[in-house]
Chains A and B, each alone.
Chain A
Amino acid sequence: MTMRLEADGLTGSAGRNRLFPARFSPWLRRSLAKLGWAALSLGLFAGIWEGFWAAGLINPLLLPPPHLFLQDIPGTLQYFDRSNRIGSVSTGGGILPLLITMAWTTTRVLVGLLLGFVAGVALGAVIHYLATLRKLLLPTILLLAPISPVAWLPVAIFVFGIGDKPAIFLVFITLFFAIVLSTGAQIESVPKNYIHVARIMGATRRQTFWKVVLPAILPSLFMTLRLNLFGAWMVVLIAETVGVGTGLGQITSMARSTFNAKLVFFTMGIIGLLGFLSDFALREIQRRMLWWVAPGQGGSR
């Protein structure tokens, strides 16, 4: 938010036409300003790092500054593998294996989130409406919910073996319980008058759920989804390190065990970028599909 305020300030009345030509649309000017600040922020971070290196305060083998780990990209890229098979000798070199590795990790995150969201809303709604089922299941859910997804990793491997499934399962678990619990709470807080309006209009319970309750709770559930996105990126890397044997997590793990600091930082950069892009994508989806809620605001009214 402060970022946006500053960005606006840059193009606001005081700075109008000073930085960008007047023929640029306000949107373009705002975007350019935002981009400028982003570059400045990253530049500052990298600059300090480089400064420490230049001053000889850090060991370039352990904490190689950006110019070192970005210097030999073709060399770094050869560690990435085109296939999604465990133990296959890296077919690396070039940009394609990198993109394939990124795509596999991203797919695991997205599939896990999608399954977790849909299953979570479904179970949350069912136990909200069916009291007996709620009494039967809620204690167990409350017991399982606070368990860290990482603790599920052995279970996931026992059940699903090595492969994509344990990673997807871990992402699923990260989101699932949060959505189950949030769904019940959100249905509870749908304004009573919304339900009254539906009943007066003659809506059946099914119509009331799909046409009134679901749209009313969707913005908050989407907020829960976004809050758990970074958690999902964390667990997928752990799962890949241990239970998958491919993907960005596996690369990081391999880089650690081979003491390849350049590869570690390069992969970290990629992971950060993917996390940022997926958050951006979710924000865009929220803005377009849930247009009645101002961005950054989750509650239903």
Chain B
Amino acid sequence: MTRAAVSVQNVSKRWTPEGRAPVLALDDLSFDVAPGEFVVLLGPSGCGKSSLLYMIAGLEEVSEGRLLCDGEAIVEPSAERGLIFQEASLFPWLTIADNVAFGLSIQHVLPERRREIAVETLRRVGLGDMLDKKPDELSGGMRQRAACARALAMRPKVLMMDEPFAALDVQTRARMQDFLLQIWRDSGASILLVTHSIDEAISLADRVVVFTARPGRVKTIVPIELPRPRQSRDPRYHAYRDQFADLLADEVDRAFAEQEVV
């Protein structure tokens, strides 16, 4: 068996809000992501799934358990594990090409080579003629594609996305999902995507990790055995949708009840 691209082993995360008792956000999570696999983390908001991404990215520390990337413990951030946020978070003072080349400039790649890689990567995400535009001049979907290009320029093994399409309108969202699948096939990277949209999970994932409400635990892992491109009219698609709706309904009810108590 090949080594997992990401291995989550008994990971827990505790927050300590100032002057209050620690809160358990994530409780004893374990699952693996195979190289080149597309895994969606699905769960009610506030279940700590984003926090897991930040820990895999190396931006936050685990409280307990181990996180491995390609067999090695994750101790600090690395461009091998790219992270894309809900907002594109492009630097407004750089052109699109310079934004994409930002990581390369940090690693002292020569300017000509930087430009070359940026041009090629932007062409791959369909922004070949936006090189010298400012981020402000791009639409939300284009900005998010540029953010993908910024991560892809570093040739990541794992691409993590924290609700990347939540801020986009429905039409753009559907197009971006197609785009993402194409990028995924093209780059060979593993993808870990956080969402609370059931449809997004079914359209994209090889496997869906369903989270419980706080504290976040792995409720179940569902492989999506539908050929791509996936049709939402497919009766099997509907079956998945019902399955996830049932799984999440319990959690949302619980989360809601807890909020009322607090």
Give A contacts to B, CB under 8 Å. Answer: 191, 193-194, 196-203, 207, 211-212, 215-216, 290-293, 301
* A201 to B154 CA separation, bound complex (whole angstroms): 8
Top-7 shortest CB links A-B: A201-B103, A193-B89, A292-B92, A215-B93, A199-B77, A200-B77, A292-B93
CB distance from A241 to the nearest CB of B (A): 41
* A200 to B57 CA separation, bound complex (whole angstroms): 7
Chain B hits for A207, CB < 8 A: 106
Residue B145 interfacial (CB < 8 Å)? no
CB distance from A133 to the nearest CB of B (A): 23
Chain B hits for A291, CB < 8 A: 134
Residue B79 interfacial (CB < 8 Å)? yes
Residue B16 interfacial (CB < 8 Å)? no
Chain B hits for A216, CB < 8 A: 91, 93
Chain A hits for B154, CB < 8 A: 201
* A215 to B92 CA separation, bound complex (whole angstroms): 9
Chain A hits for B81, CB < 8 A: 200
* A290 to B91 CA separation, bound complex (whole angstroms): 13
Other than the known A196-B59, A199-B59, A203-B106, what 19 A-B pairs have Cβ atoms closer than 8 Å? A193-B89, A196-B77, A196-B89, A199-B58, A200-B57, A200-B58, A200-B79, A200-B82, A200-B83, A201-B107, A201-B154, A202-B106, A202-B107, A211-B106, A216-B91, A290-B93, A291-B134, A292-B92, A292-B93
CB distance from A221 to the nearest CB of B (A): 13
* A191 to B105 CA separation, bound complex (whole angstroms): 21
Chain B hits for A196, CB < 8 A: 57, 59, 77, 83, 85, 89
Inter-chain contact B89/A201, CB cutoff 8 Å: no
Inter-chain contact A191/B77, CB cutoff 8 Å: no
Please encode chain B, from 119 to 150, with 1 for each CB lying within 8 Å of some chain A CB and 0 for all others.
00000000000000011100000000000001
* A84 to B25 CA separation, bound complex (whole angstroms): 70
CB distance from A207 to the nearest CB of B (A): 6
Chain A hits for B57, CB < 8 A: 196, 200
Inter-chain contact B134/A292, CB cutoff 8 Å: yes
Q: Which of A202, A203, A212, A290 gathers most chain B CB within 10 Å?
A: A202
CB distance from A268 to the nearest CB of B (A): 39
Closest partner residue, chain A, to B156 (CB atom): A200
Inter-chain contact A193/B87, CB cutoff 8 Å: yes
Identify 22 residue pairs between A and B in the complex whose beta-carbon atoms are under 8 Å apart, listed by A's number.
A193-B87, A196-B77, A196-B85, A198-B106, A199-B58, A199-B59, A200-B77, A200-B78, A200-B81, A200-B82, A200-B103, A201-B102, A201-B107, A202-B79, A202-B107, A211-B102, A212-B91, A215-B93, A216-B91, A292-B93, A292-B136, A293-B92
Inter-chain contact B93/A197, CB cutoff 8 Å: no
CB distance from B144 to the nearest CB of A (A): 13
Chain B hits for A203, CB < 8 A: 106
Inter-chain contact B78/A197, CB cutoff 8 Å: no
CB distance from B52 to the nearest CB of A (A): 15
Q: Which of A199, A201, A203, A211 gathers most chain B CB within 10 Å?
A: A201
Chain B hits for A211, CB < 8 A: 102, 105-106
Chain A hits for B135, CB < 8 A: 292
CB distance from A197 to the nearest CB of B (A): 6
Chain A hits for B134, CB < 8 A: 291-292
Chain A hits for B78, CB < 8 A: 200, 202
Chain A hits for B77, CB < 8 A: 196, 199-200, 202
Please encode chain B, from 71 to 82, with 1 for each CB lying within 8 Å of some chain A CB and 0 for all others.
000000111011
Inter-chain contact A197/B89, CB cutoff 8 Å: yes
* A19 to B83 CA separation, bound complex (whole angstroms): 56
Chain A hits for B150, CB < 8 A: 197
Inter-chain contact B79/A201, CB cutoff 8 Å: yes
Chain B hits for A215, CB < 8 A: 91, 93
Inter-chain contact B93/A201, CB cutoff 8 Å: no
* A196 to B134 CA separation, bound complex (whole angstroms): 21
Please judge, given known A-B contacts A199-B77, A202-B77, A207-B106, whether A193 and B85 are in contact too, CB under 8 Å.
yes
* A31 to B244 CA separation, bound complex (whole angstroms): 62
CB distance from A105 to the nearest CB of B (A): 34
Partner of A201, one of B59, B85, B92, B106: B106
Closest partner residue, chain A, to B105 (CB atom): A211
* A197 to B89 CA separation, bound complex (whole angstroms): 8
CB distance from B229 to the nearest CB of A (A): 31
CB distance from A47 to the nearest CB of B (A): 44
CB distance from A63 to the nearest CB of B (A): 49
* A226 to B12 CA separation, bound complex (whole angstroms): 50
